[in-house]
Amino acid sequence: MFKRNTIFKLISERCKISFKKILSKTEKNRISLYCTGFPEKPFIERYRIKYGIPSDKNEDLILKGKDYSIIKNMGFDAVSLWDFRRAKFDDKYNSEKNNESIDSWGRVYKNGWYTWEGVFKNEKIVETWSKLKTPSPAELKKLKKFLRNTEEIEFVLSLPGLFEKTWQSMGFITFSKSLRKNIELINKVIQFFYDYLVKLIKFLQNSGASIFLIADDLGYKQRNFIPKYLIHELFFKKYQDIVEMIHSGKNHIILHSDGYISNLIDLMIEVDFDGVQSIESTAGNNIFELFKKYRDQICFIGNLDNGSLLTYSNPSKVGLYVKRLIRSAKKYNSGIIISPTQQLNSIVNPESLRVMINTVKEYNEKVFF
């Protein structure tokens, strides 16, 4: 009996899919599944009821009221943690106008909605801004304990993006005008968020984090937010330094971006990101062409679109699409990790997600056995 149990344990260990190994290209045979953050409550409840997904009732897998054993039991190998990008106790500040508030990033909200406006209108405001703080020592202690006690699923710490936070804190109109008339202000804001990001990464690394994802939406449908040469000119060196810092600690880093980014993949490779996540087909990204062009230079993550494929398509088409993704990636020796493009929200069809997960699991079982 002992020998039989030992064999089953060894098989279980060998069957475990390592998100980190696939990301670092040391595992090329099997495919990993990545969950883009904890799903919205209406979706997770529907999915649990429909498929009888249990909780382990393990306090070690609960963080900030979210039971990550459910994500593990759904079949995911890795999931993002979004809760440690900034301190939460000073989240919103009242402005001088009625129904408006300002968050610690410097973004202006009205009646709870972000207005595409920000408060960083001049260098003095940037220099004196003290509302953005890293998570408290108590919060980081909770994270450290959580990461130390969980081994059955890998965690990806979400980080703020330099481009996204720069234009949001300035407001898009001010940012756009400053590209022509006041590039010094933009550089000042970028440096502010870069300094914060470096400090945050060090804190998270000290808490045991080893995989990071920078969330920085760089595109609309069919085009980038700003021209590629400006992305290179303003953000390239800063991101290169951040990636180098993370890699020096033998950690891994992914760039997440919604929108069209196919023409930016060469920059991401040059910066040395380990992976790029989302790859929205509905925004004009053709992942099959990217496989062919870039092969194993970077790991591609995502491409299962929340707003179309996982919501409106027949679940059987989802399975066929996942198989096509895997075949194409293998043909060109490209790294591929299957995931939704964004957070699983209430409109996603649970059956489609189930098919996505099961198709990957079936492929991995065939590879192993």
Sites in the chain below the pLDDT cut of 70:
1-16, 89-96, 368-369
What are the backbone dihedrals phi and psi of residue 144, each rounded to the nearest 5 degrees, phi first? -60, -45
Q: Residue 206: what pLDDT?
A: 97
CA distance 140 to 202: 11
CATH code, 289: 3.20.20.210
Q: Residue 10: what pLDDT?
A: 39
Domain span holding position 297? 2-86+135-161+193-220+248-368
The total domain count for the chain is 1
Q: Residue 335: what pLDDT?
A: 95
Q: Residue 15: what pLDDT?
A: 53
In a domain, 186, yes or no: no
In a domain, 93, yes or no: no
In a domain, 299, yes or no: yes
In a domain, 336, yes or no: yes
In a domain, 99, yes or no: no
In a domain, 267, yes or no: yes
Residue-wise pLDDT for 207-242, tens only, equals: 999 999 999 999 999 999 999 999 999 999 999 999
Contact 284, 222 (CB under 8 A): yes
In a domain, 180, yes or no: no
In a domain, 207, yes or no: yes
Rama region for 95: left / alpha / beta (φ>0; ψ in -120 to 50; rest) = beta
Q: How many CB atoms lie within 10 A of CB 5?
A: 9
